[in-house]
Chains A and B, each alone.
Chain A
Amino acid sequence: MLPQWPGGVSGPEQIRRMVEHVKRKQVHNKAALLADLRQKIAAGEVGTANPAALCFRSPLTIGVPAVDALLPQGGLTLSALHEVQAVHDGAALAFCAYLAARRATTGGMVLWGMTGLGLYGPGLAGFGLAPERLLLVRGQNEQELLWAVEEGLKCRSLAAVVAEVRRIDLKQSRRLQLVAEKHGVTAFLLRPPDSRLETSAAVTRWRLSSAPTANGQFGFEIELLRCRGGGEGKWILEWNDATGAFDLATPLASRTAAAAERAKSRA
């Protein structure tokens, strides 16, 4: 039985209560309730500034169905921290620029934190990120940079924050994840090739490297190392300049997909 809420579901307070209720799993028909909430949010009846409604925003898709299928809700969670490790500098930069640009299509600037300037505007434009949308923030050291990133995550006018950090420990990454969750600004941690990698609280972890060009298009090797509530996989993608998106070249390995295949064949 769906609980009856007087006057239907509306108003931030009632949304919050409903979310609490759903989380406590006391509702039988959770799917119907969630669908109702999603519809209300999409219709604009509930502002996305409401923290309770943040978790119901549609996720950020990569644009490649094979990759998106392994992500929970079919895409990257918006109010979360995602980590991109670079085997090759350029590939990871491009991937982050692409994701940030997709996140910022609805408006808002992207804060890019760094300790030294390496970004090149015209090149980023090729991946969909208009350079004038970038707010460049340069810190003298990693600590300053992490502080700036946290401040940026608290500013709702931003769409996303990308930070080139070499060292970040579990405590710091968890802190950023919590701030991202609370305010809804998507956070991307870009780890340069020479960074020290430790466990992190990032919701998804990717490893990017450049792959040989095929069909005249830049090749990328993308590996999804870890995903909370999703699978893992490795793909070769090609950047399609004309469409401004990635195309799938060859799926190298997908453990959960293969396991699903095997389970299906056994049944």
Chain B
Amino acid sequence: MSSAPEVFTAASHGAEQIVAIDHMAHAMGLSAGMRLADARALVPELITRSATPDHDRRALSKLSYWCLQFSPWVRPETAREPIFLPGAACLFDYGLNLDISGSDHLFGGEEKMTALIQSRLNAFSLTAHLAIADSLGAAWALARFATEPNSVTIMPPGSAKTTLANLPLAALRLQLQETEDLARLGLRQIRDLYKIPRAAISQRFGPSILRRLDQALGFVGEPLSPDQETSPLWCRMAFAEPIAHPDDIARASEHLCEKLCTRLAKDGLGVLRLRCSLFLAEGGVRHADLGLARASRDPAHIFRLLIEHLPALEAEFGADAITLTAVSAEPLKSLQYDWALPTTEDTSTAGNLNDPELGLLIDRLGNRLGMQNIARFAANESHLPERAVRVIAPLSSPDDQNHAWGDIDGLPRPVKLLPCPEMVETMAEVPDGPPMLFRWRGRMHRVIRAEGPERIAPEWWRQFAIKDPDNQTRDYFRIEVLEGQRFWLYRQGLYPEQGGHSNKPPRWYLHGFFA
């Protein structure tokens, strides 16, 4: 504490003007807005400093981040021009607007919340006027026109009209010119405006005064658009004493992951982008942003990703609170597996693979490669070879476990299947002979052995088959060539001799490779 009063000054209209005063100066009768010369006359031992509005605005911005621990809806507010508020300690208006609609219950009520914020701000050596009201306008007014420093005003819900009645008109955030105009008409307090018919005011002064009045009384909405990207899905954990040990921070984050995922589950959402904020005891905030390739609400998965970012959030003197916000969430859809095989909708993790080590491996692989790139086979009810197998999420339990594999009338199946059958040129006996020679990818192969045909007709219950069923019929042959390789070729389509009615000639394709 200095022994003499301190003030901040700024040049204004050719003379130095006081823009901010401290308690001692206030007690000695100085006020913001006075000319420095006058102030010096009153208090010769005055200490003056240059006002630094830019620095102040940056500090306010930092403080608004710090306030994120109380509510994600925070917006700093500074007036461009100094507002002359009677008895104010500072010409520049530094304010923070918080929407605490959803968060006051987390602190045990409005009184406890404001007491907490007030004590924290005082710990930063800041004097603050706090006000809670139904509308932004009312809260603004109550905070700035409070009578004592460090005051907390909580307006009873629904009593905006009576609470604001005695405040001067400047509390409505009117322009200076408007306030003067109204003063000339004898209107000085807000209550005076209640009696005037609305049409008269808007006719005389335009719509702005009425708008401000309605905003203050809560008749017109004034949504708070926060500075930061935010979302209502957030969880907070505060500590009685600041924690600094990385293990403690990790445990708290893990707990928050579970809380957040419970909330997401209630809404049927999965998180895509996550922000973990650490609120430091000395007033700063550190953020860690995470993105997920696929929406998830698995707390273990999210925590495993988060744990890698936590060391970067250093808290030298400890953290007061941690919040976890789901910045972007979407309805949790099933994963899109594009393995050129039919997939299943089932992504439940009620697995028969209960081994935690395996689960951890799958997660780690999935985090880096993408969850859609880790899968298992499951049998599918279809005799079309490319549909006989489907791909499922690794930990899900398919319902038809008893479906036999490869047991298609005892006929062998290839070990490798091309995702898309490739056309080959063949020389074969018409109509139903196997190929004797074929060319695939530019190489000629001589067939020394062929087994088949195995007829696989299209599934008649599928729409495309109805158009041209004969063209979709496949006759598969197991082919062995001179070099030893074994292929799975098929002829698609029937010749007229076989009873085919299509006017397109049948074509040959290579579908797979045997051992």
Q: Which of A's residues lie within 8 Å of B, judged by CB?
A: 88-91, 93-95, 97, 109, 116-127, 130-132, 134-140, 144, 147-148, 151-152, 155-158, 209-213, 218-221, 239
Contact across chains for A124 and B369 when beta carbons are under 8 A apart: no
Contact across chains for B515 and A122 when beta carbons are under 8 A apart: no
Contact across chains for A120 and B389 when beta carbons are under 8 A apart: yes
Contact across chains for B362 and A157 when beta carbons are under 8 A apart: no
Instruction: Kindly list chain A residues whose C-beta atoms are within 8 Å of the C-beta of B388.
Output: 121-122
Whether A126 touches B369, Cβ cut-off 8 Å, given contacts A117-B340, A135-B394, is no
A97–B377 Cα gap in the complex (Å)? 14
Let me know if B300 is at the binding interface, CB within 8 A: no
Instruction: Kindly list chain A residues whose C-beta atoms are within 8 Å of the C-beta of B353.
Output: 109
Give chain B's interface residue range (CB within 8 Å of chain A): 35 or more
Instruction: Kindly list chain B residues whose C-beta atoms are within 8 Å of the C-beta of A132.
Output: 376-378, 401
Contact across chains for B412 and A120 when beta carbons are under 8 A apart: no
Let me know if B240 is at the binding interface, CB within 8 A: no
Max chain A Cβ within 10 angstroms of own Cβ: one of B361, B362, B368, B389: B361
Instruction: Kindly list chain B residues whose C-beta atoms are within 8 Å of the C-beta of A218.
Output: 486, 514-515
Q: Output the nearest chain A residue to B408 by Cβ-Cβ distance.
A: A122
Contact check: which of B360, B417, B484 meets A219 at CB < 8 Å? B484
Instruction: Kindly list chain A residues whose C-beta atoms are within 8 Å of the C-beta of B361.
Output: 151-152, 155, 157-158
Contact across chains for B448 and A120 when beta carbons are under 8 A apart: no
A121–B418 Cα gap in the complex (Å)? 13
Q: How near does chain B come to A108, taking the closest CB pair, in angstroms?
A: 9
Contact across chains for A123 and B377 when beta carbons are under 8 A apart: no
Q: Output the nearest chain B residue to A131 by Cβ-Cβ distance.
A: B377
A88–B373 Cα gap in the complex (Å)? 26
Contact across chains for B368 and A90 when beta carbons are under 8 A apart: no
Given A119-B417, A132-B378: 14 more A-B contacts, CB < 8 Å: A89-B513, A90-B485, A93-B515, A97-B415, A117-B341, A120-B415, A132-B377, A136-B339, A136-B376, A151-B361, A155-B358, A157-B355, A209-B484, A210-B515
Whether A213 touches B485, Cβ cut-off 8 Å, given contacts A120-B512, A123-B414, is no
Instruction: Kindly list chain B residues whose C-beta atoms are within 8 Å of the C-beta of A90.
Output: 414-416, 485-486, 513-515
22 intermolecular pairs with C-beta atoms under 8 Å apart: A93-B416, A109-B358, A117-B339, A119-B417, A120-B413, A121-B405, A122-B389, A122-B406, A125-B406, A127-B415, A131-B376, A132-B377, A134-B377, A135-B362, A137-B365, A137-B373, A140-B369, A140-B373, A144-B368, A144-B369, A156-B357, A157-B358
B 87-108 binary contact with A (CB < 8 Å = 1; else 0): 0000000000000000000000
Whether A123 touches B484, Cβ cut-off 8 Å, given contacts A132-B378, A148-B369, is no
Contact across chains for B485 and A210 when beta carbons are under 8 A apart: yes
The 6 closest A-B pairs by CB, nearest first: A94-B515, A122-B406, A123-B415, A90-B513, A120-B417, A131-B377
Let me know if B456 is at the binding interface, CB within 8 A: no
Q: Output the nearest chain B residue to A126 by Cβ-Cβ distance.
A: B406
Let me know if B287 is at the binding interface, CB within 8 A: no
Contact across chains for B339 and A94 when beta carbons are under 8 A apart: no
Let me know if B364 is at the binding interface, CB within 8 A: yes
Q: How near does chain A come to B154, taking the closest CB pair, in angstroms?
A: 56
A212–B483 Cα gap in the complex (Å)? 8
A116–B391 Cα gap in the complex (Å)? 14
Q: How near does chain A come to B374, taking the closest CB pair, in angstroms?
A: 6
